Structure 1
Amino acid sequence: MTLVIGVDSSTQSTKVLLVDAQDGTVVASRSAAHPTGTEVDPRAWLQALDTAAADLLPRASAIAVAGQQHGMVALDAAGDPVRDALLWNDIRSASAATALIEEMGGPQACADAIGSVLVASFTATKLRWLRDHEPERAGRVASVLLPHDYVSRHLAAPGTDAFTDRGDASGTGYFATSRGRWRPDLAALALGHDVALPRV
C-alpha cells in the first residue's frame, strides 16, 4: 500500500490526513489548533504540524500542503520571523492598499500589472503597513514567504530553497499572473527595499 499525506494549514488549525494513494481510503487523521487572532507567530504553525504529523510522516511516500493565502511571513537574513505574521483577515493595511493602488497608477494599472486590484488581504499591503508602522522591523526583512511556503519549507529537505505555487503567489500583490512571474519591483515598492521571494 502506498500512503500519502495531505496537510491543510488553515487559519484555525493544521489538519493532516494519511491516505491510501490507490483508493483514497483515509488511514489516519490528526489535527492541532493554531493560536487565534489576525496576527500569529508563524512558528506556532510548525509546532502544530509537528504535533499533528509526527507519527504519520515516516509512513508517507509523498506530502502535499495546502494553506491559508495572503499572510505576510517576513523573515530576516537568518530565516527567522521579524514579527508575528499578519494574516489574510487582518485589515489594518486597508489604507496601504489605497496608497499602493495610487502609486501603481490607479485600479486599472494595478489590475494590468498583477491581475487584481489590491485589497487589505494582499501581502503587499501588509508589507507597506510594516514599512510605515514598524520601520526597524521592516528594515530587517530579507525575504517574504506566505504561510503555505513557510510550512512547506519546514517539511522540505535541509538546504531546499523556499518555494510557492502560482495560486498563492497571485494573492501577494507582486506577482504578474498573466506572465506567471514575480514583480520584485512591486514588492520593493511596498516594503521600501528588495527582498528575496520563493521559487514558483
Structure 2
Amino acid sequence: MTVLLVLFTLILFLVFDHLVQKHRTRSFVHAMRGKTQANRTHRNDIVIPDGVSISTNHTWMKRSVDGVATIGFDEFLSRLVGAVDSVALSSKSDPLVPSAEIAIEAKGRTLRLASPVQGSIVDTNPEVLRNPSLILSDPYGRGWLIRIRPSVGEAERSGGFIVRQPIEWLREQIALVRDFIVTNSSQAQPVLLQEGG
C-alpha cells in the first residue's frame, strides 16, 4: 500500500510539474508576441519610396528615365544585418551577371547577394564604401550601392525577381523572422532536471 501511495505521489508531482512548465512556456510565447505587436504599433510602418521595386533577395531597384537601375539593400535586410563593417562592389569595368555578388561584411561574416539585373556597371557609390553605415541609416537614399545599365531585354527578364506586392511581402518576411525567434528562443524551452546522481 505504501508503495502505491509513493508511486501515485510521484506521478502526481510529475504531471503537476509538466503542467506548470507548459503554462510557463505558453505565457512566455504569449508575452513575446504581445511585445512584438506593441513594438509594431510604435514603430513606423513599412515604407517603400515611389518607383522602387523590391527583389526576392531583399535588394531594391529604381530605374531612372534613361533606363539606368540604381540598386541597394532593402530596409528589412539592412535592419536584420545591423551595423555593416565593409562593402565590396564590382568595379565599373566588370560586367555584372546574375551570379555576380554584392558583398557586405558584418560582425565577421560576409553576406553576398546577386544583383536583380545584369548589365554594365555605370557607377558605384564611393560614399557607402567609405561609410557603410549608410546602408542601415538611409537604405533607399544615400545607401545605394551600384548603378547598372541593363542589357538588352534584361528589363523584361528581371521582372521574375521583383515582388508584386512588396509591402505585404515584407510584412510576411518580418512575421517569419519574428516567429522563428520566438519559437526558437532558449527561454521558451521547458526547464528540465538533469539526470544522474
| TM bracket (short chain) | under 0.3
The structure with the greater share of residues assigned to helix is 2
**Considering only CA atoms, is the larger Rg found in Structure 1 or Structure 2?**
2
Length-normalised TM-score, structure 1: 0.22
- Higher RCO by CA contacts (8 Å cutoff, separation 6 or greater): 2
Length-normalised TM-score, structure 2: 0.22
